[in-house]
């Protein structure tokens, strides 16, 4: 029995052994070459941004987390200014920072050398300065070298020329100051005006170099195009052509992108672009993605032309056959080109999203960062929420969020995002996004807050108001025109009995907040309607004493306050006075009604007269406001009854 069992076991084992030993081809995968940081990237890709936490540039402590746009900006810039102070100290006390701990030496930690008239300089130093991008130092050292009559090789001169053309002799904001660049608004609004330094160092260098170094032509043309000295750039271009000098691809790119500035009519512009492109083909210069972008940029400037779109699409097709995929800014220009025609724009955006969906973009052109905010603007213009969702998904794909640009374009993106959502989407969905994005990713501007409040009003979702009000306090928007008025107006329309207490809390905190501000610091002015709404809300939840305070303010402001309170509020107030039988206060209110010029004044007066026993002085006062006749009429009516 036992033997039998054993035998079976052995057989079983044999079987399973067989199945293991069948000759399965082991397929060893090919080795994938990895870079030194690939494992870090893989690890990083597992971490998503946590919307409940502030951006990592801020300290993760409740006291140090910024909650509105102003503090976001000021904290980040404060930290950077602290870093600048440290750098200043290092430069002031250079001799103290000469120790060398790091092995190998890290130059960023060592004070940068400064140069004066007596410094020993040579070409190597100049080269190094150019490589490190120190504009003013490089220019100073160059002048020093010239004064000392030290010869500089043409190749160094050429790199100096390229450097000067790139920067136009202005020191750019160093890349070390990340926050400053992030919060710099001016980049977008940079005007297309001629800022090229005429007769400056670049031109001097060019005239010295041009006979020896043909690539100096490329450099100077690029520089002039970049700083909008376009006509001169084209002059030099024709000079280069006559000398049969081969220019590089960047030069052609910059000429193409500025084609609009030398020609007036659209056909001529297009003709110029085509000649430039043909010339590139003749000279066997391979175009790159920036060539495509330059063509599209020029076309986007002539978007009134009917053919612009056809030209653009043909260009993209042609570049695709050259294996050049459009970058994000190409798509941006396509939107610009179609911006005249709404139906075209809609089909274009959806085609673009078809093309781009699930693609992981990296920056290939400096202007790539302008796509997302522009596309969101278009979505909001078209009022198409499907496009919005698709665009938002694209933004969250891979590392595409890095291409959102700077703080300005990020807030533009979310502004249009919320405009469109509040217009077209149901409120619950809007609030889902709101909870997700606010306040760590985005702080709504007052106009967006108003849009959300409007949506809340339309949906009669008063239960959201306490949360929104606390956010408004957090973002310090209560003083901004409209927001306070809006929220009070909506709160006063509340019909839900259970929420009355919450509403009165809002009203009272609004009152206390505004009254608590020092007058010198703010120029906020109560509007009568806001005060009226506060009174209305407070009375609805039975807070008479508080309402009295607000009423006093209203009476004190009188007709100097903007617009007028709701008649409903005043009527309720009179009623409450009658209830607590305080005729003096009621008469004051009636005086106010009369001053403002409500037609209901007499009706209120009658109501008081009929329901409270007035003493002669009070009666006299009442008659002096509304006239004896009105009250008498009332009395007679009563008697006749």
Residue ranges binding other proteins (CB under 8 A): 59, 61-64, 66, 71, 74-76, 78-87, 89-90, 97, 100-102, 106, 109
Instruction: Write out the H or E segment, with its range, that includes residue 359.
Output: none
CA angle 208, 213, 215 (to 5 degrees): 115
Cβ-based nearer residue to other proteins, 78 or 119: 78
Angle between helices 371-382 and 407-424 (to 10 degrees): 20
Cβ-based nearer residue to other proteins, 181 or 454: 181
Q: How far is the CB of 199 from other proteins (least distance, A)?
A: 40
d(CA 422, CA 562): 29
d(CA 459, CA 526): 27
Residue 201's nearest CA partner among 248, 148, 122, 136 is: 136
Q: How far is the CB of 111 from other proteins (least distance, A)?
A: 8
Q: How far is the CB of 129 from other proteins (least distance, A)?
A: 21
Tokens of 62: 């409740």
Q: How far is the CB of 72 from other proteins (least distance, A)?
A: 11
Q: How far is the CB of 280 from other proteins (least distance, A)?
A: 46
Q: How far is the CB of 67 from other proteins (least distance, A)?
A: 11
Residue 450's nearest CA partner among 428, 475, 436 is: 475
Residues belonging to the chain = 641
Cβ-based nearer residue to other proteins, 81 or 194: 81
CB 621 within 8 A of CB 587: yes
Sort 405 into a burial class: Cβ within 10 Å, 0-12 / 13-18 / 19+.
Answer: buried
User: Cβ neighbours of residue 66 under 8 Å, at least 6 residues apart?
Assistant: 54, 58, 72, 74, 75
Residue 164's nearest CA partner among 220, 112, 202, 125 is: 202
Q: How far is the CB of 61 from other proteins (least distance, A)?
A: 5
d(CA 142, CA 121): 9
The residue behind tokens 């056909």 is 267
Cβ-based nearer residue to other proteins, 54 or 502: 54
SS3 562: strand
What is the chain's alpha carbon radius of gyration, rounded to the nearest angstrom?
37
d(CA 637, CA 631): 10
d(CA 54, CA 439): 8
Cβ-based nearer residue to other proteins, 81 or 248: 81
Cβ-based nearer residue to other proteins, 82 or 267: 82
Cβ-based nearer residue to other proteins, 80 or 485: 80
Cβ-based nearer residue to other proteins, 32 or 108: 108
Q: Tell me the three-class secondary structure of 235-265, residue by residue.
A: HHHHHHHHCCCCCCHHHHHHHHHCHHHCCCC
CB 489 within 8 A of CB 506: no
Looking at residue 559, what DSSP letter applies?
Answer: G
Cβ-based nearer residue to other proteins, 59 or 366: 59
Cβ-based nearer residue to other proteins, 181 or 392: 181
Q: How far is the CB of 51 from other proteins (least distance, A)?
A: 21
Q: How far is the CB of 98 from other proteins (least distance, A)?
A: 11
If one counts every other C-beta atom within 10 angstroms of the C-beta of residue 467, the result is 13
Q: How far is the CB of 60 from other proteins (least distance, A)?
A: 9
Cβ-based nearer residue to other proteins, 86 or 246: 86
For 68-102, the DSSP string reads SHHHHHHHHHHHHHHHHHHHHHHHHTGGGG----S
Q: How far is the CB of 520 from other proteins (least distance, A)?
A: 20
């Amino acid at each position: 029995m036992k033997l039998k069992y054993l035998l079976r076991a052995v057989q079983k084992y044999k079987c399973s052994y067989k199945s293991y030993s069948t000759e399965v081809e082991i397929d060893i995968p090919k080795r994938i070459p990895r870079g030194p940081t690939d494992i870090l990237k893989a690890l990083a890709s597992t971490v998503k941004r946590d919307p409940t936490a502030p951006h990592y540039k801020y300290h993760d402590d409740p006291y140090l987390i910024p909650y509105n746009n102003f503090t976001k900006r000021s904290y980040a810039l404060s930290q950077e200014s602290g870093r600048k102070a440290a750098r200043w100290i290092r430069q002031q006390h250079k001799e103290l920072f000469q120790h060398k701990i790091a092995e190998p030496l890290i130059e960023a930690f060592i004070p940068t050398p400064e140069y004066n008239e007596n410094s020993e300089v040579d070409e190597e130093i100049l080269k190094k300065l150019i490589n490190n991008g120190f504009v003013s130092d490089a220019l100073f050292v160059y002048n020093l070298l010239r004064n000392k009559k030290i010869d500089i090789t043409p190749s160094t001169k050429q790199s100096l020329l390229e450097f000067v053309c790139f920067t136009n002799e202005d020191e750019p904001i160093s890349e070390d100051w990340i926050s400053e660049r992030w919060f710099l608004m001016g980049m977008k609004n940079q005007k297309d005006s001629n800022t090229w330094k005429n007769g400056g160092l670049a031109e001097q260098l060019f005239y010295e170099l041009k006979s020896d170094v043909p690539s100096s032509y490329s450099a100077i043309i690029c520089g002039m195009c970049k700083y909008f000295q376009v006509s001169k750039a084209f002059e030099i271009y024709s000079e280069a052509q006559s000398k049969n000098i081969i220019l590089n691809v960047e030069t052609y790119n910059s000429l193409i992108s500025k084609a609009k500035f030398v020609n007036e009519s659209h056909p001529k512009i297009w003709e110029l672009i085509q000649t430039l492109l043909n010339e590139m083909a003749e000279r066997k210069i391979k175009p790159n993605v920036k060539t495509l972008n330059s063509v599209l940029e020029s076309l986007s400037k002539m978007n009134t032309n009917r053919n612009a779109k056809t030209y653009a699409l043909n260009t993209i097709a042609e570049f695709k056959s050259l294996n050049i995929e459009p970058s994000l800014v190409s798509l941006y220009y396509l939107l610009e080109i179609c911006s005249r025609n709404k139906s075209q724009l809609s089909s274009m955006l959806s085609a673009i999203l078809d093309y781009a969906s699930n693609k992981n973009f990296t920056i290939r052109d400096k202007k790539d960062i302008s796509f997302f905010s522009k596309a969101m603007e278009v979505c909001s213009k078209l009022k198409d929420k499907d496009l919005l969702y698709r665009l938002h998904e694209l933004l969250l794909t891979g590392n595409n969020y890095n291409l959102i640009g700077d703080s300005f374009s990020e807030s533009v993106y979310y502004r249009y995002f919320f405009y469109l959502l509040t217009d077209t989407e149901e409120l619950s969905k809007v609030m889902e996004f709101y909870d997700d994005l606010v306040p760590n990713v985005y702080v709504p501007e007052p106009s967006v807050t108003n849009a959300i409040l409007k949506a809340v009003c339309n949906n009669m979702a008063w239960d959201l108001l306490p949360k929104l009000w606390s956010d408004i306090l957090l973002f310090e928007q209560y003083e901004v025109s409209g927001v306070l008025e809006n929220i009070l107006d909506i709160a006063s329309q509340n019909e839900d009995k259970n929420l009355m207490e919450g509403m009165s809390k809002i009203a009272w905190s609004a009152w206390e907040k505004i009254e608590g501000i020092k007058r010198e610091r703010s120029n906020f002015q109560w509007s009568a309607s806001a005060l009226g709404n506060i009174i209305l809300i407070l009375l609805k939840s039975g807070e008479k004493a508080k309402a009295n305070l607000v009423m006093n303010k209203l009476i004190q402001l009188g007709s100097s306050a903007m617009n007028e309170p709701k008649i409903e509020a005043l009527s309720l107030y009179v009623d409450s006075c009658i209830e607590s039988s305080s005729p003096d206060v009621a008469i004051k209110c009636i005086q106010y009604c009369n001053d403002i010029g409500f037609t209901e004044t007499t009706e209120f007066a009658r109501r008081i007269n009929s329901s409270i026993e007035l003493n002669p002085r009070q009666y006299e006062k009442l008659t002096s406001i509304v006239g004896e006749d009105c009250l008498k009429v009332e009395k007679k009516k009563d008697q006749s009854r």
